[in-house]
Amino acid sequence: MRANRLGAALAAVLTATLASCGSSEPAASPEAAQSPAAAATGPVKLTYWTWAPNMDKIVAAWNQEHPDIQVTVSKQAGGDDAAAKFLTAAKAGNPPDLVQAEYQHLPSFVAADAVADLKAETASIAGEFAEGLWGLVTLGTEGVYGIPQDSGPMMLFYREDLFDKYGLSVPKTWQEYADAARALRKKDPKAYLGTFSSKDPGAFTGLAQQAGAQWWSISGESWKVNIADEPTKKVADYWGGLVKEGVIDDMPYFTPEWNKALNDGRLLTWPSAVWAPGVLESNAPKAKGKWAVAPLPQWNAGESFSGFWGGSSTAVSSKTPNKAAATQFATWLNTDPAALDLLVKEAAIYPASTKAQSALGQAPGYFSNQPDFWQQAATVSAGARGFTFGPNVGVTYNTFKDAFDKALQNKTAFSGAVQAMQDATVADMRKSGFQLAS
Amino acid sequence: MRRSGRGAWPYLFLTPAMVLFTLFLAVPIGYTVWLATRRTKVSGLGLGRGARREVSVGFDNFSAALSDAELWHGWLRVLGYGALVLVVMLGLALLFALLLDSARVRLARFSRIAIFLPYAVPGVAATLLWGFLYLPSLSPIRDVLEIDFLGASTVTYSMANVAVWGGTGFNMLVLYTALRAIPRDLYEAARLDGASEIQIAVRVKIPMLTPAIILTTVFSIIATIQVFTEPSTLRPLTNTISSTWSPLMKVYRDAFVTGDLYSAAATSIVIAAISLVLSFGFLRVVRNRAFGEG
């Protein structure tokens, strides 16, 4: 009798186990379920997935002016998870009408046929964006898969006060950066000039772009994957050497540990993107007014290159019944002067639109000591170079984390991790059947 | 007429359960099995409409999952972690249950709640909380002890610690409840025979507890096989946990990071099969000992 009861309890537990194992199928999110079908009467209703702060306020301005097209913002977590969620929702058949799409994820969205081609609707606004940025939404093809919203040209953020204290000068080249890193360790063994994060493939991508990397490209009907190219290996081994030498730390960005190091003045620089002031303001509030910005150090003296870390576009879901209305909203959001003004003020983004970039005036509050912040950003932006992202960035970025984690742990060469990224990316594309040029 | 009417009644009562079972268990499992036999195939650049279609691949995904070295490494890691958690957590749970049940215990109510309370803390919150205690520059423990809790050789113990902290209370409660159900006159008889409290615990209480101990062990085996929360939550803080540290993390990665639902479905079926084998295997081994006389 007792055995029977135990058996029944176990059966219940085991079935529960199976149920949880079986739940890997796409689950519809509550937001997605609200995605409206074309309403026969009344205004067109659109849902918009985004994680830009205060987007609801910006959308409110649109809704007031356009009673016939009402947009509802659904706030997302952002990052890679947001991309995965959108792809899952698209596969399940109930995606939002509009989605914030980071440039590196856009090709995955296109490959999954989750976003619409807006070529016809966007012909008139293509000229409002720099060619490099526009290339990120066309992927170098005939189509247009999103409207650029913001961009993240990389710059060097540094602690001006501590540079003065330790007698360091702002590094103009990566060689000088390495020398400064060594000098600082001698002056204060507790502080580091910077850290290499094995958790942020986006940052590494930007640094590789600066060095001239070209991870993916399209030639004719096939993809070319060249992640382990010379510029990338050079960047990887540069950082790997500094970490091994012990002059650069290896703690990941965006952890409580990192916040504390920033607040305590134990990290003196952060090669980051133009959106860094917002992060510093919330993660290192104590150091307000002590940070300054400079262009990234260069590989060759006299150059002025940069790369991109982050930046996103507004894409329209291929499944939306209201493509025209959605495109109209996306166009307004990213090209209308009033909307751009709100984007800058409320969402604190660095706009992709060329004319909006030049209209930026007052420096972000955290950098009130640097009135020429936006002029610097514009200069850097002009020298920033990117590349077309491939259709399986998820695999590449995930391999980055695992391979660089392992390289840090085993103290092996970083270029080996880059090779692992290349191999995993090619293997995955081959398995899916993508045409690859050798 | 009456006969057939009566014959239909049980089915009517069963209907809600059957409908729920079908909708939320049978259909999802069936869909997972179906997904596991498929794969997307792209042609050319894979961009635009019609460049991607779903094809049937039979058992390819299963053979890929079974021959994936990383998955088996994950099993090994989880096995080591599981053995640690199982022994320490159930040992502590049993010890606490016996102590609380002993006649001389003070502050029983308070202790019971205090030991149980960590179970009420959600896994993610508990792991974050411990994560803060593990991080070098934030941890008060690190001020005293010079141990890197998140190093390659220690991270398994650090994770097991979180699981033990969170799980002991629940298992203690199950065991304690079973202890309270044992007729008191058994103890009295043992005492009259001159048994000490410790002898009563070892010779009377623990044998009587065997079914409950087996139950908590099976629960714990299943829970450790499915370990996901602790390593995923600690992963951003350290470079010693890979995205495929445990089998379930690999399923998550395949499905939602690298966008391969099909492999993820195949792997989760393999995990379910192994869970079944381990749980029933354990039951087979202990059944005769535990229930042989009943």
* Residues in chain B closer than 8 A to A13 (CB atoms): 218-219, 222
Domains contained in chain B, CATH given: 2-59 (no CATH), 68-291 (1.10.3720.10)
* Region of poorest pLDDT, from A265-274, B43-52, B74-83, B251-260: B43-52
**pLDDT surpasses 70 at A12:** no
Here the tokens at position A239 are 């950082």
pLDDT of residue A45: 95
**pLDDT surpasses 90 at B80:** yes
CA distance B52 to A160: 52
* Residues in chain B closer than 8 A to A408 (CB atoms): 239
Beta bridge partners of A306: A384
Relative to beta strand B52-56, strand B38-42 is: antiparallel
Q: Do A428 and B258 touch (CB under 8 A)?
A: yes
Confidence of residue B141 (pLDDT cuts 50, 70, 90): confident
Predicted-assembly ipTM surpassing the 0.95 threshold: no
Closest CA relative to residue B47, chosen from A220, A78, A90, A424: A220
* Residue found by looking up tokens 């044992």 in the block: B182
CA distance A140 to A131: 11
Residue B195, classed as helix, strand or coil, is coil
**pLDDT surpasses 50 at A19:** no
**pLDDT surpasses 80 at B49:** no
**pLDDT surpasses 50 at A201:** yes
Select from A1, A25, A398, A409 the residue whose CB has the most chain B CBs within 10 Å, as the one to mutate to test that interface.
A25
Domains contained in chain A, CATH given: 30-151+311-360 (3.40.190.10), 154-308+387-432 (3.40.190.10)
A381-432 pLDDT, tens per residue?
Answer: 889 998 989 999 999 999 999 999 999 999 999 999 999 999 999 999 999 8
A331-385 pLDDT, tens per residue?
Answer: 999 999 999 999 988 888 899 998 888 888 788 888 988 889 999 998 998 899 9
Task: Choose among B45, B239, B276: nearest Cβ to A409.
Answer: B239
What are phi and psi for residue A117, nearest 5 degrees? -80, 120
Q: Do A111 and B32 touch (CB under 8 A)?
A: no
Closest CA relative to residue A389, chosen from A142, A104, A144: A104
**pLDDT surpasses 50 at A39:** no
Mean pLDDT of B57-66: 93
Contact A208, A231 (CB under 8 A): yes
B163-209 pLDDT, tens per residue?
Answer: 999 999 999 999 999 999 999 999 999 999 999 988 999 999 999 99
Contact A400, A207 (CB under 8 A): no
Q: How many angstroms separate the Cα of B186 from the Cα of each of A176, B182, B211, B294?
A: 81, 8, 18, 18
Beta bridge partners of A47: A72
* Region of poorest pLDDT, from A326-330, A351-355, B157-161: A351-355
* Residue A377 or residue A140, greater confidence: A377
Q: Is A107 exposed, middle or buried (0-12, 13-18, 19+ CB in 10 A)?
A: buried
**pLDDT surpasses 70 at A21:** no
Here the tokens at position A149 are 């919203």
Of all residues in chain A, the one with the smallest CA distance to B248 is: A21
Interfacial A residues in 337-356 facing B (CB < 8 Å)? none
Kind plus residue range of the DSSP H or E element containing A437: none
* Residue A103: HSE in the Cβ half-sphere, 13 Å Cα cutoff: 28
A58-115 pLDDT, tens per residue?
Answer: 999 999 999 999 999 999 987 778 898 999 899 889 999 999 999 999 999 998 889 9
* Residue found by looking up tokens 């994770």 in the block: B159
Please tell me if residue B275 touches chain A, with a CB cutoff of 8 Å. yes
**pLDDT surpasses 70 at B137:** yes
CA distance B138 to A415: 32
pLDDT of residue A210: 96
